Structures are given as C-alpha cells and as structure tokens.
Amino acid sequence: MAMARNIPRFGRREALRAGAAGVASVASLAWGPFFGSRSAAQSPPAMPGAPNTPMQTVDPKDRKILFVFCAHGGAGIINSFLPLVDTEVGDPTLASTLDVYPEALVDQLPGLGFRHVRNLDSATFSYMKEPPPMDGFLQRHGRDMAIFCHGVSSVNHNVAQARSLNGAGANAGRTIMEAMAMRYGGGMPLPNCNMGTDGFIEHGHDDSVPARARHEIITAPMFFATGTHGSRGVVGVPSVGSIERARRIRQQLDRETVFGRTFGKSPRVMRYLEQRSFATEELERADLIERLLLLDPSTVDPKFGLQAGAVVADLYTRFPDLAVHDVQAQLGLGFLLAYHGVATSVTLGFRSDPVITQADGVVTAPIAFDYSHSSHRVTQNVMWGNLAALLDTMITLLKDYDYMGDPSLGKMWDRSLIYVATDFGRTKERPAEAGEWSSGHDLNNGSVLISPLINGNRVYGGVDPKTALTYGFNRETGAPDPASALEEAALYGALCHVLDIDFSGREACPALVRAQSA
C-alpha cells in the first residue's frame, strides 16, 4: 500500500532501505544493474541462432509515443463514458434489473459526442475518498477521446489482461508495446517500459522479437533510476579508472576460470554477459541515473553527487503526492522516460492494492476495479474518477512540454496515444431496485482511447438499451452497427493503424485515424 510519510533527505541509509543502494553497491562492479526490474531474467537477448528481427530506428521528429494505462479488474465502459439512462430502456421493470442510471447522475458537456457519469452521493463512498468529478477531464481533453466498443474473449484476469495487449495473438503474438518498440525503438536505451502487474506484464509470444523490444519490468518507479548506474550515487567507491580496470580483469577471469571454460558458451551465461555489457556500455553512458531520477530535489543529499532534472520539480507540483502515491510515481517516471526519448512505449496503471495516504485515507478501491465484486457502482465511480484525474494531469504535462526539450520537435502530446486497457467488462444485470450490488466478469465492454492522432469526440459503436450491452461499428465509416461484434484483434489492429504499425492480417480502422495535414 502507498502510505504517506514525512519525506526525509535522501541518503545512503534511505537508499539501502529502499533497496536501491543495495543494488548500486553491488553494481559498482556492474553485474547487477537493474533495480526494480527483472529484465535480465525475463527479457534476455535472443538465444544464439534464434531469429532476431531488427528494430527500426526512426528520426525523433517522426516518432510516436504510446502510453498504456492498465485499469486493473474490469473497468466497465457503461459506468463511465457510455452510461445508459433508465428512461431509455422503455420498460421500468426491465430498467430496474439493468446497470442503468437515473438522469440526475448522467451529464453531457456542450460540444461533446458522449456523456459521463456524475459522482454519486458523497455518503455512498463510505471509507473511500470521494473521487474527483470527471467533467474537468472531459472539458480539457474530451475532443481527443473516443470510445471503442468491443468484446473480449476471456474473463480470466491474467488471460484477458494479456489479450488486451496482444490482440489475442493478432500480430504473431506481439504485444502492442513490443510492436511499438519494433517500429520506433531502435537506438533507445529502454524502448518498452512496463509498470503494470499480472497479465499486463506478460511478454508476447513472437520469438523473433529481440530482448530490447520486450517489456522492461519496473516495480519501484521512485528508485528505478538508481539502478541504472554501477557506481554513481554511492559515496566512497573507487575511482572511475579503478572500476574500469576491475571490470576488465573480471572479463578476463570470466573467460579463464574453470566455470567460464566449462559453461562460457551456455545460452544463459551468454545472455547474462550481454546484459552486463549493455548495462555498463549503454545505461551508464546514457546517464539515466540523473535523467530519470524521480526523487524530490530538496531531499537529495548533495554528497551523493546527483541532481534531479529540471522537470522533476514541476512533476512534484503537478503530482503533489508523487512520493507516496504509487500511480502518481508511475506517471512521473513514465513522463520522464518519454520526455527524454528513452522509451517509445510506457505501461502504467492501477495495481491490485489500494492507494492510501495520510491526508486522504483510502483513495482507490482495495482491489481496483475488481472490488466491484463487493460494491459495483461505488467502486466503478471511485476508480473512474481517479483514473480521469490522473490522466488529466498527465495529458496536460504532455501538452505543455516539447518532446526531448526541443521546440522544433513540437509538443509531446502531438505524437502521443493513451490506451486505457482493461481485462473485461462487468455483468450488466442487477437485483431489481437494488441501491448497490455486486457484479461479475463479463465479455462485453469497450475501451477508452485518447490522442490527437484519432478522430475523437465520438463513440465508435453504441449500447443496446434493452440489454446494456455494447455493440460495434463499421470500421470504414465509423457508423454504429448493432450486428457487429468486435473483439481484441479489431482493437489491436485499430491501435496499430493509428500508430502506423503494419503487419500481415491487420484489421485496419480508417474511421478512427485522423487525417494528418501535410
């Protein structure tokens, strides 16, 4: 749980407690460079002799950035931006058994092509903090937002989460993030960074994808930067020259020891050595320890020789709970990864544990959207309100900052797409006249997409007032089609179409793609 505390000055003891300096001290000889990451174990370089598709290197001016926000546990689209009003059902008895809302709880802002659920009565939130209302988010970003109605093919959490990212195997099993890394990530240190959980962090199934394009799993965003360098930030380490000499001697010993002569050609040993070389030759050279340092500059003791980047102070202004709110920390690191051109794909979002702060108490539901099993309507309201507020701040940052700090490259938002990924929908039925109820997993749902690259401010598909089930649309024209039933492959193909990622069998979606001016 993300617990509030007084933020001390960052020093050796605090780093040790966080686990960062423990890695840094060991990594002074650079054998274990990834703090908060499982890259060396989970995304190794390709085995010798295995296929290894090259990654494309793209000029910064032509890059795109994907942000995947994981709505863990089943974010119901009809509980956010596609609500059904009870009077639209046409039968009060039937309406009393469906997940519909009274007109007083549904609003539509002027000029927007969809509506949204208002906050419930404050008394209904019980021990959870009332969420921010969604109207501010929509006022600022609604014209770049679209609802893509579709179903899914599994209601198992891990399976459904993985399929929400790999399109149920649409592109040889590659996740959309791996596809982004292959398309735009050549030359980037960490093109595909993932702070998700469970099925959202599963690699794709295409063995030709190189290690660099696979998910770099980040479990502790606040301290991730400290694990990207073997010696900086540690007081009393030997000189740079001494460390380099020790590394050269170690490489010689690696070859000449009995172990090295016996197992030196083992694929696992070769993967390990390549990862070690990558850490010392690329991560350290890229100076990620400072570029990605997320600690409050006022808490970093000068004796460690580290200075947080100029953008970090602004992040603490925009995300005031960044040091104690896990998702705010993810967003802060995700922004830095994209801003500095380190990554082309960043995955983040809610975990299964709640965010709890000293000032606000319980901010999110105990198991994110899946707490709908206990309290459906309140959980959906709390989680969607928090999700919208977090994305509001993130998108505003992307609109304010130039990509890589270069005005000639334009604002970050101009090349960005946010995909709110979730496992499945929630059941649409409820006990007649129930004030609150529990819901199960349901194959029927829809997804939120936000980007200046799409034809936004509209719903692609619709919802049947007799069942509260969503239906699809014509992908050429965008017209609603109640007979259409789109699933994960269609959504994956649409995302790839917008992001200019082509592959055999792609289910294109011309209606979604905004024409770009010359």
Domain ranges (residues) in the chain: 12-428+438-512
Residue bearing tokens 């069998």: 505
What's the pLDDT tens digit per position in 460-479?
Answer: 999 999 999 999 999 999 99
Helical (H) or strand (E) element with 106: strand 106-107
Distance CA 326, CA 348 (A): 10
Burial class (CB in 10 A: 0-12, 13-18, 19+), 513: middle
pLDDT band for position 489 (50/70/90)? Answer: very high
Helical (H) or strand (E) element with 259: helix 258-263
DSSP-derived 3-state class of residue 177:
helix
What is the pLDDT, as a whole number, of residue 301? 87
**Half-sphere exposure for 406 (CA within 13 Å, toward CB):** 8
DSSP-derived secondary structure letter, 54: P
Q: Whole-model pTM?
A: 0.89
Cβ neighbours, 10 Å, residue 401: 17
What is the pLDDT, as a whole number, of residue 267? 87
What is the pLDDT, as a whole number, of residue 5? 34
Mean pLDDT of 101-116: 97
Backbone angles phi, psi at 442, to 5 degrees: -140, 145
pLDDT band for position 270 (50/70/90)? Answer: confident
What is the pLDDT, as a whole number, of residue 117? 98
What's the pLDDT tens digit per position in 335-358?
Answer: 999 999 999 999 999 999 999 998
Between 15 and 225, residue with greater pLDDT? 225
pLDDT band for position 149 (50/70/90)? Answer: very high
Cβ neighbours, 10 Å, residue 258: 7
Length of the chain: 518
**Two tokens, residue 27:** 């990594």
- Choice among 217-221, 228-232, 340-344 with the minimum mean pLDDT: 228-232
